Copies of this chain bind each other. A is one copy, B any other.
Amino acid sequence: MHRVPYNDLYEALRRAMLRLGLAEDRAALSARLFAETTRDGVYTHGLNRFPRFAAMVRNGSIDVNAAATRTAAFGALERWDGHRGVGNLNAFAAMQNTIALAKQHGIAAVALANTNHWMRGGTYGWLAAEAGMFAMCWSNTLPNLPAWGTAVPTVGNNPLVIAIPRAEGHVVLDMAMSQFSYGTLAAYSKRNAPLPVPGGFDAMGNLTTDAAAIEATQRALPVGYWKGSGLSLVLDMMAAMLSGGLATHELGLDPMREAGQSQIFLAIDPANVTQAGELARIADGVIEHLHGTAPLDPTRPLRYPGEQTIRLREENLRLGVPVDPDVWHQISELIS
C-alpha cells in the first residue's frame, strides 16, 4: 500500500481542482472534502473518485463555476438550485445554511435541486455533528436498483445519512439502499470471493452471493428486500418534490452523465430544549450498552456507525493516507 501525507494529498487535489477551472476558494474547499473522505477511509468516494469527477467536468455534466442559490424560503424551510455545479460544494453550502437556519428555529431543512453527486454523504452529517446538531440528509441517484418485484433498475440506491452529535465520537450512519455498492461487488468478484450475505440475483433469478453474477445481471438487492425498495422510493419522492427537481426516473442511465440530482439536508439543534449533560449521558448509555453486549466473535466487538471512521482517520493521519498508485500517478501528471 502506498501512503502519502494528508497535506500532500490535499495539495495535489487542490491544484488539480484549479486545473479543472475552479476558483481559488472553491478549489480549496472541494479538495479538502475529497481529501478528508480518503483520510477517513471512504476510499471509493475520495481520491479514487477524482478521475470520474474530472471526466464529468470535461463532458459538461458538472459546471465548475456554478454556485447553489436560494430559490424559495419560508421560515425554517428553503429550496435551493444547484445549477449543476460541483456536487460537494453545493451540498456543503446547503448543509452550512441548514445548520445556520436550525440555530434560529431549532430545526431546519434545505431541499436542493439540480445538483451533482455529493461524493461521500457522511461529509454533511459530520459537518452538522461538529456543530452540535443532529442531521438527516439524502440524495437520489439514477435508477441503479431494481425495485422489489422487477428485474428492471427502477429506483436509486439513494444514500441516507443520519448524524448524532457526541463528544466522545459522533455517531454517523451513511448507508445506501442497496445491500452492496457496485464498487464492493467489483472488489469481491476481482478476488473471486463470495459475498458475506446474498447481494442480488443471478441469471436464473435466484439470490446469490456470487458478486460477478450480480454484476452480469445488474440485479443488486435492496436492503431488506421490499423494505429498502419502498424506503428508496419515498426518499426519492421527498427529495424531488420538495426541491422541485428531478426524480430518479428522470436522471438517465449513464453514470458518466448522471447530473441534476435532488437532495435533502435537515438539521436539528438540541441546544435550547435540552439540559446540560443530558445528551452525553443518554448517548453514552446507548454506546456503553452496545459495547458491553457479547459479540458472536470475541475478536469483533460491536461497533456504532462512524466508530471505524474515527479509528481510520487517526491511523491515516499518523501513517499517511493510503492512495491507489495508479490514481495518484494520474493526478500527479495532471498537476505537473
Which A residues lie at the B interface, using CB under 8 A?
A: 72-79, 104-109, 111, 134, 136, 147-152, 154, 162, 164, 171, 173, 175, 179, 197, 205, 207, 223-225, 227-228, 230-231, 233-238, 240-242, 244, 247-250, 266, 268-270, 272-275, 278-279, 282-283, 285-286, 289-290, 293-297, 300, 302-305
Contact B285 A250 (CB under 8 A): yes
Residues of the B chain whose Cβ atoms lie less than 8 Å from the Cβ of A249? 285-286, 289
Contact A150 B283 (CB under 8 A): no
Contact A162 B238 (CB under 8 A): yes
CA distance A305 to B305 in the complex (A): 28
Residues of the B chain whose Cβ atoms lie less than 8 Å from the Cβ of A302? 147-150, 154
Q: Which residue of B lies closest to A225 (CB)?
A: B197
CB distance from A151 to the nearest CB of B (A): 6
CA distance A27 to B282 in the complex (A): 34
Stoichiometry, copies per complex? 2
CB distance from A80 to the nearest CB of B (A): 10
Q: Which of A79, A228, A296 has the most CB of B within 10 A?
A: A296
Contact B164 A74 (CB under 8 A): no
Contact A244 B278 (CB under 8 A): yes
Residues of the B chain whose Cβ atoms lie less than 8 Å from the Cβ of A269? 74, 77
CB distance from A141 to the nearest CB of B (A): 14
Within the complex, which residue of B149, B294, B304 is in contact with A297, where a contact is CB–CB below 8 Å?
B149
Knowing A230-B305, A304-B233, say if A75 contacts B105 (CB, 8 Å). Answer: yes
Contact B233 A272 (CB under 8 A): no
CB distance from A276 to the nearest CB of B (A): 12
CA distance A248 to B286 in the complex (A): 8
Contact B289 A240 (CB under 8 A): no
Contact B73 A273 (CB under 8 A): yes
Contact B225 A179 (CB under 8 A): yes
CA distance A333 to B306 in the complex (A): 54
Residues of the B chain whose Cβ atoms lie less than 8 Å from the Cβ of A266? 107
Q: Which residue of B lies closest to A163 (CB)?
A: B234
CA distance A268 to B164 in the complex (A): 21
CB distance from A198 to the nearest CB of B (A): 8
Residues of the B chain whose Cβ atoms lie less than 8 Å from the Cβ of A136? 136
Residues of the B chain whose Cβ atoms lie less than 8 Å from the Cβ of A148? 302
Within the complex, which residue of B73, B225, B286 is in contact with A233, where a contact is CB–CB below 8 Å?
B286
Residues of the B chain whose Cβ atoms lie less than 8 Å from the Cβ of A283? 237, 241
CA distance A270 to B275 in the complex (A): 32
CA distance A272 to B71 in the complex (A): 12
CA distance A230 to B172 in the complex (A): 9
Within the complex, which residue of B227, B238, B248, B295 is in contact with A179, where a contact is CB–CB below 8 Å?
B227
